Chain A
Amino acid sequence: MKKTIIAVSLVTLLAACGGSGKKDDGKFSYAAQDMIVNLTDDVIVAGYSNLAMKGSELFQLTETLQATPNADNWKKVQDAWKAARQPWEQGESHIFGPIEALEIDPHLDSWPLNTVDLKAQLDGNASFDAETIKNWENGVQGFHAMEYLLFGDGVDDNEKAFSESTAREREYLKALAEVLRDYTSDLEKAWKDKFKDTNGETPYAERLKNVSSSPTYSSQVGVIEELVQGMAGIAKEVGEAKIAEPFGGSIDNVDTSKVESQYSWNSLIDFANNIKGVKNVWEGEFSGSKDKPGIVDFVKAGDSALADKVTKQINDSIANIEKIAGDNNMPFRQAIKDADGRKRVQTAVDSLAALKASLENEVVPLIKKWDAK
C-alpha cells in the first residue's frame, strides 16, 4: 500500500514534468518536444518538400511546353502553376526563418506586378536567363508574373489560350519557372539539409527542435510563440487585407486591382489554403493524415474549451471562404461586386476576425501559463 503511494507520487510528478495537466497555480504542463519535432518535420519541412516537388514539376512542364508548344502542354503548365500555389499558400501560416532570410518570399510572391517593365522587357529583344532574372526587380518575377503570362489580365476571364501566347512569353515563363524551382529547392534544403548563415550551417529545422543549442531560439516558448503568432498573423492578413482591402467598405468602394491571384481567379483557393495552413499547424498533420501532436494539443492541456473553440473557428473560416463562390462558382473578384456575394464575403471576414481574436487574445496569453521546462 505504502509503495503504491510512493509510486503514485512519482507518477504524478513525472506527469507534471513530461505529460500534460493543470496545476494549482494556474499554470499547466505539456511536454512540447514531440509536438515541435512533429510540426517541424511533418508539417513545415514536409510542406516545403511538397512545394519543391511542385516547383520542379512546373519547371519541367515549361520545358516541355517550349519543346512542344501546343494547347495541351499550355494547359498542363496552367494546372501545374495552381498545384504549386497550394503548398506555397499553406506555408504562409509559418513565414519565418529561411523564407525571409534568403529573400525567397519577396522574389516569389511580390505584389503588385511591375507590368510596365514586364511588358517592356517582353517587347524588347534583350536576352535573359534564370540567373539574370534573379537580380531583376521583384515585380517582374515570381508566381504572379507567371500567372499574368499564363492566364492573361483576368478582367473578363481567366482562360488565356495557348494561341494568345508568344514564343518570347513562353521563353520568359520557363526562365521564371526555373527561378521558382531554384528558390523552392533552396527553401527545402535550408530547412532540411543546410542553412548557411553567419553562425554556421545547421539545418533550420534543428534550430526549432533543439533549442538548447539553437542560435535562434532561447527556449521552446519562443518556438511555440513563433508558430501561434504566425497563425494569428495569416488569419489577420486574409481577413483584414487580402479580402477586406478589395472588398472595401461598400459595393461602391470595391477595388479589384487589390485582389490576390486576380489573373487566374485562384483567389478563393489561395485564401482557403492560407487557413488550411493554419489548420495544419494547429492539428499537427495535413488534412486526412494520421493524428499527430499539434498546437491544439498544447492548448488543450491548458484550456480544452478554448481548443475546441479554435478548432471550430478554423473549420468555419475555411468553409466560409469556400462558400463565397456560391452555387455558381463565382470568383472572388466578381463576388465582391455582387450583393449576395458580399454577404458571403462578410460572413467569411467575420469568421476570420473571430479566429484571429481567439488566437491573439486567448491562445497567445495562454503560452505564458505554460510551465515550460
Chain B
Amino acid sequence: MDVHKNKINISIALAVAMGLAACGGSGSGSGSGSKDDGNGKSYPSYTDVELLGGDTTTTEASNSGHGFSTPAPNLTEAEVKHHEEGDANFETSFITAPSNEHPELDGLGPVFNNINCNACHQRDGRNSTILIPDGEKRVLLGSGAGIFLRISKKPDEVCTKGTKENNYCAPIPVPNFGGQLFHRGILQARPDWEQNNFKGQADVYLSYEYLEVTYDDGTKVKLKKPLFEVENAYDSPANFAASELGQPDVLMGWRNGMPVFGLGLLEAIPESAILDNVDVNDKNNDGISGKANYVFDPVKAMAGDDNPVSLGRFGWKANTPSVRVQSLGALRGDIGITNPLFPDESVKGTDLHEKYLSRTGLLDTGKGPNGEPEVDDKFSDSLVFYSETLAVPARRNVKDPDVREGARLFEQVNCTGCHTPKFVTKADGQIGGKDMSKALKSQTIYPFTDMLLHDMGEDLADGRPDFLADGNEWRTRPLWGIGLTKAVNPRAGFLHDGRAATIEEAILWHGGEAEKSKQDFMSLSKKERQQLVKFVNSL
C-alpha cells in the first residue's frame, strides 16, 4: 500500500517536473553580477547590468520599436512637458517660404537633405539603408534618403592644433558649396530649376561593391560597401569636371543618421574621465590609441570666449562638442532652418543662394522681417532638451546563459579597449552652455564607448579630416540600445554609411586599432561568435 502510494507521488512529482520543464523554467542564472559563477570562468562586472542609463533607463519600452522614443522616467512633470514640446519639434516638417498658412514653419532649404529631424533619425534611431532595386545598378538619392555626403577641400598640411588663424582645424568648405552636399531642394532652388525641379546642389547616386569574408570554419559572410557618384552639379550641370565639386582635391564621405537617445548623459560624462583613456602614442602598447578631438564650439564663441574650442563628443568623428551644437547645426544644415545659434543659412554667399534670392525676390534669406532666425529660442531649446533627455532602453535577455558567455567573450577579445563600458556622469554643471537637468546628474551609465577617436583602418576610412580627426579616425559608437536597432527600423544599417546589415558585419569591418580584436573574434568558434553577438544584441 505504502509502496503504491510512493509510486503515485513520484508520478505526480514527475508530472510536475515535466510540466515545469515544458514551461521552459530553468531555475538557473544567478543574476548576482558576481565575477565568478563557480565554473572557473570570470565574468565582467557589467554582465548582469540591466539599467544601462541609470535612473534614465526605460524598462517599459525596451523590447520594441518604441525603445528609443520615450522620455527619461526620472524627469519632472515640467521637464516632461518641455521634452514633449521638443518631440513635436523633432517631427515638425518645414516648408518653402513664404507660407501664408504656416509662416512659423517656412524657410525650408532652399537646398537641404531632409525636411524634419525624424526623417534621418527614424523613430529616434537610424535611417533606412538604401537598397538597389532589382535590375538597377544605382539609386538617385531623393526624398527617401537619410544618408548624405559631407564634403571639404583637402588641406595642404595636417592640422594638429586649432587656432583662430587656421579656423580651429575645421574642414575647409568647398567654394560655392560648403561642407555638406545638399542633394535636395525646394522647387526653384537651382538656377536651372525648370529642368531640375526640387533638385539640390547636385545629384548623388548610391551603389554598392561587395566582398566576402571567410572564417577558418568555412563560414562565409557577404559584406557590402556603399559607393557614391555625383553628377549634375548646379554650377556646371553638363561637365562635372568643371564644377567646384569635381576638383581633384574635394573630399567626400557618407554620413548616416544616428540614434538620438541618451545623448545628455554622454555630454554629462566628465571631460577628465574621457581624457583618462587618451593614449595617443599607445604608451601601454595595446595597439589602441584613443585620441580626443578638439573642435570649434559656437556656444563658447557666442559667449565671447577667446578660445572657443571644446572637447568633441558627437558626430561620427566627434566633430561637435554638445547636443546643442549637433542638433541646431543639423537643423540649419540638414534642413536649412536658421536658429539663434546658427543664424545664417549654411549656403549663404554661394552662387546658388545669391541667384536664388535675386531670381525669386528675397524669398528665403534665412531671416525674418526683423532679422530674426527662422525658429526662435523656445523652439530650439525644447528640440535640444528632447535629444538630451530621451531614455536609454534597458537590456533584454540578461540571464540568458549565451548572453552571459557573450559578455565574457566581449571582454576576452578586448572590445572594451574602445567600447568602455561604464562612466559616472558629473554631479553638477552645464551642458551646451545651459544648466543640466537633475535627471542626468550622478548617473552610473553603461554606454560602451570611450568617446574617443580611433584609427579604424583603410576599409572604413573616408580620407576626410575633421578638426583633429584624420581620414582614418572615427569616434567609438556607443553600443547601448544597439540590439533594438531593427525593431526601431528594420531597414537600419550600422556604421557611418550603414554598410553593415548586422552586428557581425559591423565587427568584420573593424580594422586599424581594432584589427586584433576582430581577428580574435574571427578565431572564436561559431557558437562563441554567436554568443558574443547575442551579448551585443542584449544591450
User: In this assembly, does A117 line the interface, its C-beta being within 8 Å of a C-beta of chain B?
Assistant: yes
Interface string of B52-96 (1 = CB under 8 A from A): 000000011101111000000000000000001000100001011
With both beta carbons as reference points, the residue of chain A lying nearest to B95 in the complex is identified as: A114
Is the pair A226, B131 in contact by a Cβ cutoff of 8 Å?
A: no
User: In this assembly, does A210 line the interface, its C-beta being within 8 Å of a C-beta of chain B?
Assistant: no
Is the pair B143, A115 in contact by a Cβ cutoff of 8 Å?
A: no
Q: B322 to chain A: closest CB distance in Å?
A: 28
In angstroms, Cα B397 to Cα A198, docked, is: 24
Is the pair A116, B99 in contact by a Cβ cutoff of 8 Å?
A: yes
Is the pair B128, A102 in contact by a Cβ cutoff of 8 Å?
A: yes
Q: A299 to chain B: closest CB distance in Å?
A: 15
**Chain B residues within an 8 Å CB radius of A241:** 88
User: In this assembly, does B194 line the interface, its C-beta being within 8 Å of a C-beta of chain A?
Assistant: yes
With both beta carbons as reference points, the residue of chain B lying nearest to A139 in the complex is identified as: B95
Residues of chain A from 213 to 229 with CB closer than 8 A to chain B in the complex: 215-219, 221-223, 225-226, 229
User: In this assembly, does B421 line the interface, its C-beta being within 8 Å of a C-beta of chain A?
Assistant: no
Partner of A137, one of B115, B486, B491: B115
User: In this assembly, does A53 line the interface, its C-beta being within 8 Å of a C-beta of chain B?
Assistant: no
Is the pair B142, A134 in contact by a Cβ cutoff of 8 Å?
A: yes
In angstroms, Cα B483 to Cα A193, docked, is: 26
Is the pair A137, B105 in contact by a Cβ cutoff of 8 Å?
A: no
Is the pair A126, B194 in contact by a Cβ cutoff of 8 Å?
A: yes
In angstroms, Cα B95 to Cα A314, docked, is: 35
Residues of chain B from 182 to 233 with CB closer than 8 A to chain A in the complex: 184, 186-188, 194, 197-198
Interface string of A265-307 (1 = CB under 8 A from B): 0000000000000000000000000000000000000000000
**Chain B residues within an 8 Å CB radius of A168:** none
Is the pair B63, A225 in contact by a Cβ cutoff of 8 Å?
A: yes
Q: A326 to chain B: closest CB distance in Å?
A: 27
User: In this assembly, does A97 line the interface, its C-beta being within 8 Å of a C-beta of chain B?
Assistant: yes
User: In this assembly, does B98 line the interface, its C-beta being within 8 Å of a C-beta of chain A?
Assistant: yes
Partner of B490, one of A97, A117, A138, A229: A97
With both beta carbons as reference points, the residue of chain B lying nearest to A12 in the complex is identified as: B19
With both beta carbons as reference points, the residue of chain B lying nearest to A117 in the complex is identified as: B187
Is the pair A138, B99 in contact by a Cβ cutoff of 8 Å?
A: no
**Chain B residues within an 8 Å CB radius of A113:** 95, 101
Q: B23 to chain A: closest CB distance in Å?
A: 5
User: In this assembly, does A14 line the interface, its C-beta being within 8 Å of a C-beta of chain B?
Assistant: yes
**Chain A residues within an 8 Å CB radius of B396:** 218-219
Residues of chain A from 96 to 123 with CB closer than 8 A to chain B in the complex: 96-98, 100-103, 106-107, 110-117, 120-121
In angstroms, Cα B486 to Cα A207, docked, is: 11
Partner of B128, one of A101, A114, A140, A223: A101
In angstroms, Cα B221 to Cα A299, docked, is: 43
Query: Interface-forming stretch among B9-17, B312-320, B433-441, B518-526?
Result: B9-17
With both beta carbons as reference points, the residue of chain A lying nearest to B20 in the complex is identified as: A13
User: In this assembly, does A10 line the interface, its C-beta being within 8 Å of a C-beta of chain B?
Assistant: yes
Partner of A111, one of B93, B97, B143: B93
**Chain B residues within an 8 Å CB radius of A343:** none
Is the pair B490, A134 in contact by a Cβ cutoff of 8 Å?
A: no
- Which residue, A100, A132, A195, has most C-beta atoms of chain B within 10 A? A100
**Chain A residues within an 8 Å CB radius of B142:** 134-136
With both beta carbons as reference points, the residue of chain B lying nearest to A371 in the complex is identified as: B23
Is the pair B63, A137 in contact by a Cβ cutoff of 8 Å?
A: no
Partner of B487, one of A132, A198, A216: A216
User: In this assembly, does A312 line the interface, its C-beta being within 8 Å of a C-beta of chain B?
Assistant: no
Q: B107 to chain A: closest CB distance in Å?
A: 11
User: In this assembly, does A67 line the interface, its C-beta being within 8 Å of a C-beta of chain B?
Assistant: no
Partner of B12, one of A9, A14, A364, A373: A9
Is the pair B397, A134 in contact by a Cβ cutoff of 8 Å?
A: no
Partner of B184, one of A137, A217, A225: A137
**Chain A residues within an 8 Å CB radius of B38:** none
In angstroms, Cα B129 to Cα A229, docked, is: 25
Partner of B187, one of A9, A97, A137, A364: A137
**Chain A residues within an 8 Å CB radius of B19:** 9-10, 13-14, 16-17
Is the pair B143, A134 in contact by a Cβ cutoff of 8 Å?
A: yes
**Chain A residues within an 8 Å CB radius of B108:** 114, 137
In angstroms, Cα B491 to Cα A97, docked, is: 9
Is the pair B490, A204 in contact by a Cβ cutoff of 8 Å?
A: yes
With both beta carbons as reference points, the residue of chain A lying nearest to B128 in the complex is identified as: A101
In angstroms, Cα B362 to Cα A74, docked, is: 39
Is the pair B66, A6 in contact by a Cβ cutoff of 8 Å?
A: no
Partner of B101, one of A112, A195, A199, A225: A112
Is the pair A198, B197 in contact by a Cβ cutoff of 8 Å?
A: no
**Chain B residues within an 8 Å CB radius of A116:** 95-99, 106, 186-187
Is the pair B187, A121 in contact by a Cβ cutoff of 8 Å?
A: yes
Q: B183 to chain A: closest CB distance in Å?
A: 10
Is the pair B60, A112 in contact by a Cβ cutoff of 8 Å?
A: no
Residues A110 and B63 in contact in the complex (CB < 8 Å), given A135-B198, A198-B493? no
User: In this assembly, does B328 line the interface, its C-beta being within 8 Å of a C-beta of chain A?
Assistant: no
Is the pair B60, A10 in contact by a Cβ cutoff of 8 Å?
A: no
User: In this assembly, does A197 line the interface, its C-beta being within 8 Å of a C-beta of chain B?
Assistant: yes
Is the pair A223, B64 in contact by a Cβ cutoff of 8 Å?
A: yes
Is the pair B487, A226 in contact by a Cβ cutoff of 8 Å?
A: yes
In angstroms, Cα B84 to Cα A113, docked, is: 23
**Chain A residues within an 8 Å CB radius of B8:** 2, 6
Residues A6 and B15 in contact in the complex (CB < 8 Å), given A101-B491, A135-B143, A368-B59? yes
User: In this assembly, does B431 line the interface, its C-beta being within 8 Å of a C-beta of chain A?
Assistant: no
Is the pair A198, B101 in contact by a Cβ cutoff of 8 Å?
A: no
**Chain B residues within an 8 Å CB radius of A196:** 131
With both beta carbons as reference points, the residue of chain B lying nearest to A135 in the complex is identified as: B142
**Chain B residues within an 8 Å CB radius of A9:** 12, 15-16, 19
User: In this assembly, does B47 line the interface, its C-beta being within 8 Å of a C-beta of chain A?
Assistant: no
Is the pair A120, B119 in contact by a Cβ cutoff of 8 Å?
A: no
Is the pair B12, A216 in contact by a Cβ cutoff of 8 Å?
A: no
User: In this assembly, does A167 line the interface, its C-beta being within 8 Å of a C-beta of chain B?
Assistant: no
User: In this assembly, does A315 line the interface, its C-beta being within 8 Å of a C-beta of chain B?
Assistant: no
In angstroms, Cα B18 to Cα A6, docked, is: 12
Is the pair A217, B487 in contact by a Cβ cutoff of 8 Å?
A: yes
Is the pair A136, B122 in contact by a Cβ cutoff of 8 Å?
A: no
With both beta carbons as reference points, the residue of chain A lying nearest to B100 in the complex is identified as: A115
Is the pair B198, A199 in contact by a Cβ cutoff of 8 Å?
A: no
**Chain B residues within an 8 Å CB radius of A334:** none
Is the pair A124, B194 in contact by a Cβ cutoff of 8 Å?
A: yes
**Chain A residues within an 8 Å CB radius of B16:** 9, 13
In angstroms, Cα B199 to Cα A132, docked, is: 11
**Chain B residues within an 8 Å CB radius of A128:** 197
User: In this assembly, does A257 line the interface, its C-beta being within 8 Å of a C-beta of chain B?
Assistant: yes
**Chain B residues within an 8 Å CB radius of A140:** 187
User: In this assembly, does B24 line the interface, its C-beta being within 8 Å of a C-beta of chain A?
Assistant: yes
Partner of A199, one of B59, B60, B84, B501: B501
Is the pair A100, B122 in contact by a Cβ cutoff of 8 Å?
A: yes
User: In this assembly, does B502 line the interface, its C-beta being within 8 Å of a C-beta of chain A?
Assistant: yes
Residues A199 and B93 in contact in the complex (CB < 8 Å), given A218-B396, A222-B63? no
**Chain A residues within an 8 Å CB radius of B303:** none
**Chain A residues within an 8 Å CB radius of B397:** 218-219
In angstroms, Cα B537 to Cα A204, docked, is: 20
In angstroms, Cα B9 to Cα A2, docked, is: 10
Q: B65 to chain A: closest CB distance in Å?
A: 5
- Which residue, B95, B96, B131, has most C-beta atoms of chain A within 10 A? B95
Residues A199 and B502 in contact in the complex (CB < 8 Å), given A6-B15, A117-B186? yes
Partner of B501, one of A112, A139, A198, A226: A198
In angstroms, Cα B59 to Cα A195, docked, is: 29
**Chain A residues within an 8 Å CB radius of B20:** 13
With both beta carbons as reference points, the residue of chain B lying nearest to A124 in the complex is identified as: B194
**Chain B residues within an 8 Å CB radius of A230:** 66
With both beta carbons as reference points, the residue of chain B lying nearest to A222 in the complex is identified as: B63
- Between A and B, 23 residue pairs with Cβ closer than 8 Å are A2-B8, A6-B11, A6-B15, A9-B12, A9-B16, A13-B16, A13-B20, A14-B19, A102-B128, A110-B115, A112-B101, A116-B98, A121-B187, A134-B144, A135-B140, A135-B198, A137-B115, A139-B96, A196-B131, A197-B490, A199-B486, A223-B64, A226-B487
What 4 A-B pairs come out closest when comparing CB atoms? A13-B19, A135-B142, A198-B501, A222-B63
